[in-house]
Amino acid sequence: MKSFIVGTAGHIDHGKTELIKALTGVDTDRLKEEKERGISIELGFAELDLAGGITAGIVDVPGHEHFIKNMLAGATGFDMVLLTVAADDGVMPQTIEHLAIVDLLGVQEGVVVITKADLADEDMLELVKEDVAEALKGTALADAEVVVTSSRTGQGLDELRQAISKVAERVSLRDSEGFFRIPVDRVFSLKGIGTVITGTLWEGSVADGDEAVIQPAGRKVRVRNIQVHGEDVDQARAGQRVALNLPGISKQEIERGDIIGSLPYLHPSLMLDGYLQLLKTARPLKNRARVRFHHGTREVMARVILLGGREQLAPGEEAYVQYRLESPIVAIYGDRCILRSYSPMTTIGGGVVLDSRPKKHRHHQASILEPLQKRRQGNVPELIVLIIEEKKMPLTRSQLLLLTEIKEGQLEQALAELLSGGKLLQLPGEGQTYYVSPPLLETLLAELVDLTGRLHEANPLKPGVNKEPLRQRMEEDLGGEVFEALIKAAASRGEIEIEAGRLRLPGGGRSLSERELAEKEVIRKTIIEGEFNPPLFKELMQVSGLDKNKLRDLLGILIEEGEIEQLNPEFFLAKGRLGEAEDRIKSFLAQKERLGVADLRDMLGASRKYSIPLLEYFDRKRVTRRDGDYRVSY
């Protein structure tokens, strides 16, 4: 069953509330002040039963220019508008302003209702119709059906119902899949029940027991008890007016303007990039102008940065802009917003949010225009590639979901398309797959290869470069897992070699100069000739005249080559010596019960300085076991 919201719009006193009453029997003016003044102030709500068992949610808005803010909070959820124009009054300022607002909000469908027909004769009606047709030119409602009604006599009401049903067939359905989002329009608390919020379910569906977050505060809540059209339901879906009971939170913790939802990527922003259309009726808009920014049911103050260096926007012009918000807005890519001037409070324009996580752009920065243009074109595959290239790193599905702010289904479809078209490549990571565009992969691999070569050149005695310092030197802040995936890609393409966790260029290895080879030989010989009393590290430094880093590198190479063995950081022996010592100790202990330091000296010629670390080494190796001052068989 289709769910959608029908909203009213039109100048004050043009019969909106009376029309809803005539259609539904509900008087949506509930406030005492509304009754006393005979005008609507707040949003009114009702349900309209249509043919085929369809029930539409009705939102009635106030026409008074002082309450445009309330009108906006209602209009943000409209799927269809009933634009009312009184037959005895014609098109008036708020007719025009409301029309501009619903147009900027992207409301594509509606019916024009000429009300109070009982107060006008045929000639007047004709004039008003012409008036209306003129006002609708160039808007989404230009071809909307026009119905003449009187709430007093009942004229035209059936015709209007039919017109609404007809439009309802065309209204594009909001997406009810998955995560939900509701801009809160009312908050109240009911005795014995607690805090209740109402709003129009913008997207997704919400079920009893669902977890949700109130933004921008980030407060987690659980949804209990959902009502649609005054009845308890287990689940509500996009396009319905809903009331949610939120146990455990007080009325003070949530207000009109907040967004409640389960979308994983809902987040408060103090900057937004967008595309702005300035109304023809507006005054020129200067760069950095301070305006009222409306999104969902919220109004905040903002400055408009005209991007690309424009100093001023003329009426009717359009531009890419950055909004600098004075309080957070919780918007996502593709959302609509409305701008009103600070004073006088009139609607001056609006448009679409293109980036909810933008960097700060300078007024003159022209490079931002192209990516924003791509975002506006809304080609999802292109958007994905754009985001990967903007981030300059391979991204996972969940990162892409977060950054594109599109639906999972859309992402899947676009990824499949991009992969099969060769526009994206997959990089398999440990737990997840990364997606990268071929040009970005080339850039990253070239950087990796270049850095590997340069770092290795700086340390030619090493067999290669360690990963971590490499990762840290990469220009992009790549995580360990994605860096590992990149290394694998480079290795599988033969652009680097990996040995014992170290990277080098193919066939690179270490390169020792003639002199270093000679130095290494001196060290080797010295250690061999030292038998069981070789010079320790410090003495080796003196003998060879090398600094400690160089000596350590050369010793490392000798160990890798199997020429020497290391007992502790100071103590190195020629290969074979340790085996020899082990054999002798074992055969000694096969005949004698215990072995002392003096025995070892006699056996190997090792002085006390060397015997102790040797014995400790064999203890660790579980050849011997310490027993007082002696060693016994393990």
Ligand X SMILES: Nc1nc2c(ncn2[C@@H]2O[C@H](COP(=O)(O)OP(=O)(O)OP(=O)(O)O)[C@@H](O)[C@H]2O)c(=O)[nH]1
- For Mg ion, the binding residues (CB under 5 A) are 16-17, 40
Between 40 and 452, whose beta carbon lies closer to Mg ion?
A: 40
508 binds ligand X (CB under 6 A): no
Residue 42's binding partner out of ligand X, Mg ion, none, with CB under 5 to 8 Å set by partner kind: none
Residue 151's binding partner out of ligand X, Mg ion, none, with CB under 5 to 8 Å set by partner kind: ligand X
| Secondary structure of residue 433 in the 3-state scheme | strand
If we measure between CA atoms, which residue out of 397, 406, 371 comes closest to residue 386?
A: 371
Cβ proximity of 351 and 278 under 8 Å: no
| Secondary structure of residue 363 in the 3-state scheme | coil
Q: Which of residues 119-138 bind ligand X (CB under 6 A)?
A: 119
In one letter, which amino acid is 409? G
Residue 535's binding partner out of Mg ion, ligand X, none, with CB under 5 to 8 Å set by partner kind: none
Between 89 and 565, whose beta carbon lies closer to ligand X?
A: 89
Measured CA to CA, the distance from residue 255 to residue 377 in angstroms comes to: 34
Q: Which residue is nearest to ligand X (CB)?
A: 63
Cβ proximity of 451 and 503 under 8 Å: no
151 binds ligand X (CB under 6 A): yes
Q: Which stretch binds ligand X (CB under 6 A): 10-18, 255-263, 454-462, 492-500?
A: 10-18
369 binds ligand X (CB under 6 A): no
Could you tell me how many helices (H) and strands (E) the chain has, helices first? 19, 33
Smallest distance, ligand X to C-beta of residue 22, A: 8
Residue 150's binding partner out of Mg ion, ligand X, none, with CB under 5 to 8 Å set by partner kind: ligand X
Binding mask 19-58 for ligand X (x = CB under 6 A): -------------------xxx------------------
Structure token digits, residue 288:
């950095």
Residue 371's binding partner out of ligand X, Mg ion, none, with CB under 5 to 8 Å set by partner kind: none
Cβ proximity of 185 and 200 under 8 Å: yes
Cβ proximity of 424 and 414 under 8 Å: no
Smallest distance, ligand X to C-beta of residue 157, A: 10
Which long-range contacts does 324-328 make (Cβ < 8 Å, 24+ apart)?
324/270, 324/271, 325/269, 325/270, 325/271, 325/272, 325/293, 325/300, 325/301, 326/300, 326/301, 326/302, 327/216, 327/270, 327/300, 327/301, 328/216, 328/268, 328/269, 328/270, 328/300
Q: Which stretch binds ligand X (CB under 6 A): 16-24, 474-482, 564-572, 578-586?
A: 16-24
Between 111 and 331, whose beta carbon lies closer to Mg ion?
A: 111
Structure token digits, residue 177:
């899949």
Between 81 and 558, whose beta carbon lies closer to ligand X?
A: 81
Residue 185's binding partner out of Mg ion, ligand X, none, with CB under 5 to 8 Å set by partner kind: none
65 binds ligand X (CB under 6 A): no
In one letter, which amino acid is 189? S
Between 93 and 309, whose beta carbon lies closer to ligand X?
A: 93
Q: Where are any strands of DSSP class E within 595-634?
A: 624-627, 630-633
Residue 118's binding partner out of ligand X, Mg ion, none, with CB under 5 to 8 Å set by partner kind: ligand X
Measured CA to CA, the distance from residue 185 to residue 78 in angstroms comes to: 13
Residue 277's binding partner out of Mg ion, ligand X, none, with CB under 5 to 8 Å set by partner kind: none
Binding mask 87-116 for ligand X (x = CB under 6 A): ----------------------------xx
Q: How far is CA 338 from CA 68, 142, 581, in A?
A: 11, 21, 86
Between 120 and 321, whose beta carbon lies closer to ligand X?
A: 120
423 binds ligand X (CB under 6 A): no
Among 3, 6, 13, 322, binds ligand X (CB under 6 A): 13
Smallest distance, ligand X to C-beta of residue 51, A: 23
Between 151 and 287, whose beta carbon lies closer to Mg ion?
A: 151
What kind and span of H or E run contains 466?
Answer: strand 465-466
Smallest distance, ligand X to C-beta of residue 279, A: 21
DSSP tag of 283: P
Identify the residue whose tokens are 């003129």. Answer: 134
Residues lying near ligand X in the complex (CB under 6 A): 10, 12-18, 38-40, 62-64, 115-116, 118-119, 150-152
